[in-house]
């Protein structure tokens, strides 16, 4: 029996995680694997109930799970809270508490969505890369991070890394590159930052163990530009926490919508946390408008990386493609097809499950 902890969080989080759980339950009907789902609170929802964005109960439950499926956290309701009881602190806290240092964010072109990209079709068609973002170090966690001086008019944030922290995430990126097109782009700001100079050193050192992988280094400002002018060049990108945060939002829209991008946060064993890259979208929460596909695709990553269920993961991904190819999409995607059909969160989930079942019927 495997345990998946579900952390719906805030805003559209509960809607999109409910969709992904439905998809997982449907998949499990046709497999030998028994799964139990346990739901816990995080973010603003946890602040409302427990006065803290990450209750100990949630941490304990996650620590005894095989995988975690998370929706999103945050919203205007909690914006006035003091810094250390913000909903986001729950998300950062669970990543840190679980030691999930490698965040994989795949960006893939979907034929059906190419016209909803802000870029010209020719730039988007062959896009297929993964951003590997360091997730438990750097500017997000360095101390001191505070206001100081007599009148609190000084401020400091700290970008700190140990060599080991850099090595383990870069190693993951090399391993991933070996399974793909064997091209690794390391992104840093080595012309300014010492942390980046060590990052580069580590990449060059590890490169010796992976002679088949072509490695190149790009400065983060240039990489931001290259993502727009030539996204097809990339296979695996690896970068520190903050650069990865920024570049992954940029990258997500290349292929159409932030609503499509899944993520996997991993460590050295099989335990992982899976969440859509998009936020809690409080403006559309509770209206059934949310695009559940990023979370459904995150559930596919969960099957692949935490439960060794590659075939089932691929089934979900195929079903998503098929539904999009039939012209169905949620309102976040701007598609100007004559025959396109805008559907809601539940209908989208139904379509994906139907497509999976039809494919099962064909293969059985």
Return residues touching ligand IPM (CB under 6 A).
88, 91-92, 245, 277
- Whether 140 sits among the annotated catalytic residues: the reply is yes
CB count, 10 Å around CB of 66? Answer: 18
Q: How far apart are CA 51 and CA 350, in angstroms?
A: 36
| Residue 88: CB minimum distance to ligand IPM, A | 4
Catalytic residue among 40, 41, 189, 315: 189
Catalytic residue among 245, 315, 328, 332: 245
Q: Which is nearer to Mn ion, 277 or 303 (CB)?
A: 277
Only one of the segments 72-80, 155-163, 229-237, 244-252 lies at the binding site for Mn ion (rule: CB under 5 A); that segment is 244-252
Selected binder of Mn ion within 245, 275, 312, 322 (CB under 5 A): 245
- Whether 305 sits among the annotated catalytic residues: the reply is no
CA distances from 354 to 310, 322, 351 (A): 20, 11, 5
Q: Which residues contact residue 214 at a Cβ distance below 8 angstroms, ignoring those fewer than 6 apart?
A: 182, 183, 184
Residue 88 interacts with, from Mn ion, ligand IPM, none (CB under 5-8 Å by kind): ligand IPM
**What is residue 149's DSSP assignment?**
S
Tokens of 118: 């802000």
**Cβ(87)–Cβ(252) below 8 Å:** no
- Whether 50 sits among the annotated catalytic residues: the reply is no
Only one of the segments 2-10, 203-211, 242-250, 343-351 lies at the binding site for Mn ion (rule: CB under 5 A); that segment is 242-250
Catalytic residue among 235, 249, 350, 354: 249
**Cβ(276)–Cβ(245) below 8 Å:** no
- Whether 210 sits among the annotated catalytic residues: the reply is no
Q: Which is nearer to Mn ion, 55 or 138 (CB)?
A: 138
Q: How far apart are CA 244 and CA 135, in angstroms?
A: 9
Residue nearest to ligand IPM (CB): 88
Does 240 engage in binding with Mn ion (CB under 5 A)? Answer: no
Only one of the segments 9-17, 80-88, 174-182, 239-247 lies at the binding site for Mn ion (rule: CB under 5 A); that segment is 239-247
| Residue 317: CB minimum distance to ligand IPM, A | 21
- Whether 274 sits among the annotated catalytic residues: the reply is no
Sign of CA dihedral 119, 122, 128, 129: negative
List the 262-266 sheet strands across, edge first. Answer: 35-39, 2-9, 67-72, 272-276, 262-266, 102-108, 128-134, 236-239, 183-188, 214-219
Binding site for Mn ion (CB under 5 A): 245
Mind telling me the catalytic residues?
140, 189, 221, 245, 249
């Amino acid at each position: 029996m495997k345990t998946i902890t579900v952390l719906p969080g805030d805003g559209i989080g509960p809607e999109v995680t409910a969709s992904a759980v439905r998809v997982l339950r449907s998949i499990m009907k046709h497999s030998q694997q028994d799964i139990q789902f346990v739901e816990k609170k995080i973010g603003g929802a946890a602040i409302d109930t427990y006065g803290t964005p990450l209750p100990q109960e949630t941490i304990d439950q996650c620590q005894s799970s095989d995988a975690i499926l998370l929706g999103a956290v945050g919203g205007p309701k909690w914006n006035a809270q003091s810094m250390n009881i913000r909903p986001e602190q729950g998300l950062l806290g669970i990543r840190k508490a679980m030691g999930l240092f490698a965040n994989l964010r795949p960006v893939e072109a979907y034929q059906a969505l190419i016209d909803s990209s802000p870029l010209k079709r020719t730039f988007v068609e062959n896009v297929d890369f993964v951003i590997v973002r360091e997730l438990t170090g750097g500017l997000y966690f360095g101390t001191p991070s505070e206001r100081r001086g007599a009148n609190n008019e000084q401020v400091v944030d700290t970008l700190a890394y140990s060599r080991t922290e850099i090595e383990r995430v870069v190693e993951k990126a090399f391993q991933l590159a070996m399974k793909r097109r064997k091209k690794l782009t390391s992104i840093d700001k080595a012309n300014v930052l010492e942390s980046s100079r060590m990052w580069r050193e580590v990449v060059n050192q590890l490169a010796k163990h992976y002679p088949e992988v072509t490695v190149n280094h790009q400065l983060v400002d240039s990489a931001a530009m290259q993502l727009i002018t030539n996204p097809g060049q990339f296979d695996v990108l690896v970068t520190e926490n903050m650069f990865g945060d920024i570049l992954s939002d940029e990258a997500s829209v290349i292929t159409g919508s932030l609503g499509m991008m899944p993520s996997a946060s991993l460590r050295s064993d099989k335990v992982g946390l899976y969440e859509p890259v998009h936020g809690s979208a409080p403006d559309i929460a509770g209206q059934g408008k949310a695009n559940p596909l990023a979370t459904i695709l995150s559930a596919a990553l969960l099957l692949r990386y935490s439960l060794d269920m590659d075939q089932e993961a691929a089934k979900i991904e195929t079903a998503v493609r098929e539904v999009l190819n039939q012209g169905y999409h949620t309102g976040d995607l701007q598609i100007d097809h004559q025959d396109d059909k805008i559907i809601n969160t539940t209908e989208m989930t139904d379509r994906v499950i139907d497509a999976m079942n039809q494919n099962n019927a064909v293969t059985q």
